[in-house]
Amino acid sequence: MSKGKTDERIAGNNAKNRQQISNSPPNSGYGENNQKLDDLAKNIEDAGGEFLTTNQGVRVNDNQNSLKAGDRGPTLLEDFILREKITHFDHERIPERVVHARGSAAHGYFQVYESMAQYTKADFLQDPSVKTPVFVRFSTVAGSRGSTDLARDVRGFAVKFYTQEGNYDLVGNNIPVFFIQDAIKFPDLIHAVKPEPHNEVPQAASAHDTFWDFISLMPESMHMIMWVMSDRAIPRSLRMMEGFGVHTFRFINDKGKARFVKFHWKPLLGLHAVLWDEAQKISGKDPDFHRRDLWEAIENGDYPEWELGVQIVEEKDEFSFDFDLLDPTKIIPEEIVPVRRIGRMTLNRNPDNFFAETEQVAFHTGNVVPGIDFTNDPLLQGRLFSYLDTQLIRLGGPNFHEIPINRPIAPLHNNQRDGYMRQTVNRGQTSYEPNSLRGGCPFQAGTDMSGFASHAERIDARKIRERSPSFHDHFSQATLFFKSQSEIEQNHIIKALRFELGKVETIPIRERMLFLLAQVDKQLASKVAEGLGAAIPAKLEKPVNMSVPGDVDPKKVQPKRVAQDMEVSPALRMIDNPNFPNETIKTRKIAFLVSDGFDDAALLDMKQTLMTAGALVMTVAPRLGVLTGANGTVVKADFSFLTGSSVLFDAFYVPDGEASVASLKGEPEAASFLNEAYKHCKTIAASGAGIELLASAGIVTAADEISRTDKLEFRPGLVASRESYAQSLGDQFVRSIARHRHWEREPAS
């Protein structure tokens, strides 16, 4: 929704306006034909209103002074206005999520490309003309609600589909595997990664002893560790990352035939990350970087989009892989089972109120609709318990499904009653089934009436606490992931591990990690060891009382069947990933470094070229206010060198203009802006006198370097022209930005 539209929507704030909204028929336009938004509209209360009132509707005539015995006397207990206001304030907070506390969300819709009836009877996957409303919440895992967006962490990617058959929640992550194979280890994992209990340090970071202590004793986490140490864990934007359902689920068609399915979200803007050095700096400069980015993109009408992909496996092929489909530490490589893209999700509206929607939304892996079912993945099975349980405490009782954001658009009738904060006024004598007094209503829906019937999987087993031997290979896919990365990405993993383990103070923990890394890849381990100034131990010393299988008994590992000769999976890398061939500069933020006296055409024509390609242009100047070009063009300074920062932009341009460049040369921050950009391998362009700023910043070393070549891109990601502006310069700048980073400039580790 554009800014204009938002303003229009919130313009009216009186009772009459609200009346109009609540009386509006479905698809009134309020919700852009989105049934969930129309439903939410019934609860909208715009800020303002005519008179200030208490919660009982009594008008308040003095909101500045409490009721006192004399103007210098004590406050009276009688002051019900003061008491109500303070009491409500005291209770404004609810417990934050125990994990995924830091989140950002948006509304949108999903549309399937063609009917999936052959595979699933799920109603929302049948008709390409149907737009199913969605609410999506992205999150980090370890940090508190107010923590930085740019932590090295997994990103939550939770989608609530408000389907005509009830809510379906796909509660996934941006990484397709998980740390542990069994949910019983989840509290331990989270206790280990959260700030340490004695001093609550560090916030939103895994680089500390307890996390790596746990991991070093948990070899099954090694595949996940490769992903978390990769650039996937520091995305450039929530709009530029993949999503995964992680577990294997089931699709069931109307004939009752089941197939295994893995879910993927493929972002249309491609896969992009920031460097760790940037991530740390962004955490200081703008801890809301991802939240702001998502919000602004939607406000600007640059709606983020993902395609929903599925990998479908026939039941007869369940055992034909060299890993177990039920093991959440494994992927099905896309080269073995291709991802079929079956629909598109578009996020096109920001929430009206963070607390009411983003904070109060309650996801649950158990929210499924007919046509989608579970498998026996022991991690998924544990999650099926956890989510409902956690919402009961977090949202204060059993009626959280009545909170507007959680309410399904499908009709809801049952005999569940009462409890804290019940909103519904259930009329009638009966609250049980079967009944005769109300004609049997509400009655059970047979499967022919969309009643949910669990897949009748045959189970004939002993009750045991054991893990299947088919879960015992903890390293093959970790190795596959590492080997599939480009050299640059491998270096980033090495550096990330050096950083994280370098923060670990207990030497035996580092050693255990080096031992495990050596099982993944010898070179990886030795490079990490080099950075730590340590040696890889020849064998793993089990600490006293270690109760988990610290190493793998090869006799217990199932023989490999399919894909044992698979060396690399290109779909696992971010750089040159074949799934994202079209590089675009859409929504990239380009900083123009300018001051008074800039060359008007050099600024305006370049801006036009970039905007035509879909990028956003912002000016950064020695001060805020307006700037005037040599020929009188007036532009607003969006940032000063104080309020802006190099790490917040994707590319940089210094336009021609003698006076402008002279002023920038006197500004030490301008040079450090460009030097950081250079270090972070971003594209920098200059025209005419702008080149002198590159020279004074030390980026162009030999003064005549540019004259010696007729190439506009005279060094990787450095674009310049002696002319004030030529279209060829703009076109080259666009092509260079589309490569995102110029890794040739990055020093090897």
Phi-psi label, residue 242: left if phi above 0, alpha if psi -120 to 50, beta otherwise? beta
Rounded Cα distance, 548 and 516, in Å: 14
226 CA to centre of own chain: 18
Phi, psi of 522 (to 5 degrees): -60, -45
8 A C-beta contact, residue 529 and residue 518: no
Beta carbons within 8 Å of 477's beta carbon, 6+ residues apart? 177, 223, 323, 329, 330, 331
Contact set for ligand HDD, span 335-394 (CB under 6 A):
361-363, 379, 382-383, 386-387, 390-391
Which two structure tokens, joined as six digits, stand for 215? 């991991």
Using DSSP bridges, classify how beta strands 651-654 and 683-687 pair: parallel, antiparallel or unpaired: parallel
- Smallest gap from Cβ 390 to ligand HDD, in A, equals 4
- Smallest gap from Cβ 503 to ligand HDD, in A, equals 25
Size of the site for ligand HDD (CB under 6 A): 27
Which two structure tokens, joined as six digits, stand for 214? 């746990």
627 CA to centre of own chain: 37
- Smallest gap from Cβ 115 to ligand HDD, in A, equals 28
Q: Which residues of 329-341 are buried (b: 16+ CB within 10 A; e: fewer)?
A: bbbbbbebbebee
Which two structure tokens, joined as six digits, stand for 290? 């991802």
Which is the catalytic residue, given 34, 100, 167, 401?
Answer: 100
- Its sign, for the CA torsion 347, 352, 354, 357, is negative
Rounded Cα distance, 176 and 263, in Å: 9
Q: Which residue minimizes CB distance to ligand HDD?
A: 156
Rounded Cα distance, 499 and 549, in Å: 27
Nearer to ligand HDD, 105 or 496 (CB): 105
541 CA to centre of own chain: 38
Residue type, 307: E
Nearer to ligand HDD, 109 or 179 (CB): 179
Please identify which residue in 35, 120, 139, 350 interacts with ligand HDD, judged by CB under 6 A: 139
Cα dihedral 228, 233, 238, 239 in deg (nearest 10): -90
8 A C-beta contact, residue 93 and residue 100: no
Annotated catalytic, 198? no
Please identify which residue in 18, 36, 121, 137 interacts with ligand HDD, judged by CB under 6 A: 137
Rounded Cα distance, 594 and 78, in Å: 61
Nearer to ligand HDD, 391 or 484 (CB): 391
Q: Would you count residue 261 as binding ligand HDD (CB under 6 A)?
A: no
Q: Would you count residue 142 as binding ligand HDD (CB under 6 A)?
A: no
- Smallest gap from Cβ 362 to ligand HDD, in A, equals 6
- Smallest gap from Cβ 103 to ligand HDD, in A, equals 5
Three-state secondary-structure class, residue 737? helix
Contact set for ligand HDD, span 204-233 (CB under 6 A):
none
Nearer to ligand HDD, 386 or 579 (CB): 386
Nearer to ligand HDD, 233 or 532 (CB): 233
- Smallest gap from Cβ 145 to ligand HDD, in A, equals 12
Annotated catalytic, 300? no
- Smallest gap from Cβ 99 to ligand HDD, in A, equals 5
Which is the catalytic residue, given 34, 107, 167, 173?
Answer: 173
Nearer to ligand HDD, 154 or 617 (CB): 154
- Smallest gap from Cβ 38 to ligand HDD, in A, equals 23
8 A C-beta contact, residue 226 and residue 493: yes
Residue type, 370: P
Rounded Cα distance, 185 and 89, in Å: 38
Nearer to ligand HDD, 38 or 293 (CB): 293
8 A C-beta contact, residue 252 and residue 375: no
Contact set for ligand HDD, span 300-339 (CB under 6 A):
328
Binding mask 546-585 for ligand HDD (x = CB under 6 A): ----------------------------------------
Please identify which residue in 234, 241, 246, 271 interacts with ligand HDD, judged by CB under 6 A: 246
Binding mask 91-110 for ligand HDD (x = CB under 6 A): ------xxxx--x-------
Contact set for ligand HDD, span 614-673 (CB under 6 A):
none
- Residue ranges with strand state E in 463-604: 589-593
- Smallest gap from Cβ 395 to ligand HDD, in A, equals 9
Contact set for ligand HDD, span 165-194 (CB under 6 A):
171-173, 178, 183, 186
Nearer to ligand HDD, 386 or 430 (CB): 386
The catalytic residues are: 100, 173
Per CB under 6 A, residues contacting ligand HDD are 97-100, 103, 137, 139, 156, 158, 171-173, 178, 183, 186, 246, 328, 361-363, 379, 382-383, 386-387, 390-391
